[in-house]
Amino acid sequence: MMASWLSALGIFLLLADVTHAAFNPPFNNTLERGVATECKTCPYTLCTNKEYYGYNTIVSLICWTTGTVIAGDSTWLRTSDDCYVTQYDLAAYAGEYETDLSFCGHDSTLEHITTAPATTKYNTECNICDDNTSCEVVKYLKYGTDITVTCWTDLGALVINDRTEKRTWLKTTDNCYVAQIGLEEAADKTEIDYCGPVGFLQLNYTSPVKRAGSPLHLQTSPRSLAKKSPTPSPSHDLHKRYLLNITVGEDYARCYETPSSSSRLVTSYEWDHGVWVQCYEDSFANPNPNETSWYLTTDFCYVREVDFWESLYDQYRFPNCNLFEGGGGEDVD
């Protein structure tokens, strides 16, 4: 009798397990209109990317799981590429993914990331993707800030003269990318994973309250000093917004400890010398009209804006130094 009862119980449990694990067939959906996204190796925003899906991509959804909460929802979906996207990136679905798809299993809920410490050498923009030209800023990191990086890529945009570093960018635990050349030391690539494909991404502006964009600076400063014609230099790219090289237009451009000519002189740059600048600083209280606008250089001293041939005050993406004090930027999920 006991053996018969145990046998019946075993059959019942087997049937219950089969019922629980019943397979629901996959089906297709399309990325939300105007959305491009990364398909990740695990359902968390810090996981590396396996694929990058451009606009209007049709994806085959295999199963569902849980991970990082995006727009109030922790549901992620595995695609036929064996990677995960959030349902927030997909066109609205009339049903319930948790009902209409199978669960991916417990292992799918685990987060797999690598980490390594790093420190910023310069004021550093941390962007939603690996490009200082068009990708939005998530964080403004002041020089000397300790950060944690999770992966690396060598396919990002070139920042100043980092050709020897193959344009290396690193993703941080703030879910944004920094250029390695802006760090005190190069990251040990043996300690962290490769990020996978990183495409052009945009911040989420579809929440009920639209987020404010990065501060714009459109002021034009006075130019009362005559300048010599500079030697043409095709390497000057003013389309970028950060760590720009501009040319001295005076016999000498003096670089001071603070944005004031009454402060200690740190160094001087000769005419036609290229200077790397990090950000701008306003000093409107100064009665001298030629000393109201300054650039902070990578020598960590300030040069008057009027001492250069190029003006960055019409480059709206070039940052104010004050931004790096507060660490602000756009929030990103």
Name the token pair of 77. Answer: 């979906």
Domain boundary among 80, 109, 138: 109
HEC secondary structure over the chain = CHHHHHHHHHHHHHHHHHHHCCCCCCEEEEECCCCCEEEECCCCCCCCEEEEECCCCEEEEEEEEEEEEECCEEEEEEECCCCEEEHHHECCCCCCHHHHCEECCHHHHCCCCCCEEEEECCCEEEECCCCCCCCCEEEEECCCCEEEEEEEECCCCCCCCCHHHCCCEEEECCCCEEEHHHECCCCCCCCCEECCCCCCCCCCCCCCCCCCCCCCCCCCCCCCCCCCCCCCCCCCCCCCCCCEEEEECCCEEEEECCCCCCCCEEEEEECCCEEEEEEEEECCCCCCHHHCEEEEECCCCEEEHHHECCCCCCCCCCCECHHHHHCCCCCCC
The domain that holds 90 is classified in CATH as 2.30.30
**Could you tell me if residue 164 is inside a domain?**
yes
**Could you tell me if residue 208 is inside a domain?**
yes
Q: Are residues 83 and 137 in the same domain?
A: no
Domain boundary among 212, 232, 265: 212
**Could you tell me if residue 197 is inside a domain?**
yes
User: The whole model's pTM is what?
Assistant: 0.77
- 170 close to 152: Cβ distance less than 8 angstroms: yes
Q: Are residues 39 and 73 in the same domain?
A: yes
Q: Are residues 56 and 132 in the same domain?
A: no
| Domain that residue 56 falls in | 20-109
pLDDT at 122: 94
Q: Are residues 36 and 93 in the same domain?
A: yes
Q: Are residues 27 and 100 in the same domain?
A: yes
CA-nearest of 118, 237, 129, 238 to 181 is 118
Q: What are the pLDDT digits (tens) for 1-55?
A: 444 444 444 433 333 343 345 678 999 999 988 778 899 999 999 999 999 998 8
Q: Are residues 188 and 271 in the same domain?
A: no
pLDDT at 125: 92
pLDDT at 268: 97
Q: Are residues 97 and 125 in the same domain?
A: no
pLDDT at 237: 45
pLDDT at 161: 56
Q: What are the pLDDT digits (tens) for 200-229?
A: 776 654 443 222 233 323 333 333 333 334
Name the token pair of 99. Answer: 């009902």
Q: Are residues 93 and 120 in the same domain?
A: no
**Could you tell me if residue 176 is inside a domain?**
yes
CB atoms within 10 A of CB 191: 12
pLDDT at 157: 74
**Could you tell me if residue 288 is inside a domain?**
yes
Domain boundary among 185, 212, 239: 212
As for how many domains the chain has, the answer is 3
**Could you tell me if residue 182 is inside a domain?**
yes
Extract the residue ranges of the chain whose pLDDT is less than 50.
1-20, 162, 205-239, 331
**Could you tell me if residue 153 is inside a domain?**
yes
pLDDT at 229: 41
Q: Are residues 257 and 244 in the same domain?
A: yes
pLDDT at 228: 39
Q: Are residues 250 and 181 in the same domain?
A: no
**Could you tell me if residue 13 is inside a domain?**
no
Sorted by sequence, the CB contacts under 8 Å of residue 64 that are 6+ apart come out as 75, 76, 77, 78, 97, 98, 101, 102, 103, 104
Q: Are residues 311 and 223 in the same domain?
A: yes
Q: Are residues 173 and 254 in the same domain?
A: no
pLDDT at 204: 56
Distance CA 316, CA 12 (A): 68
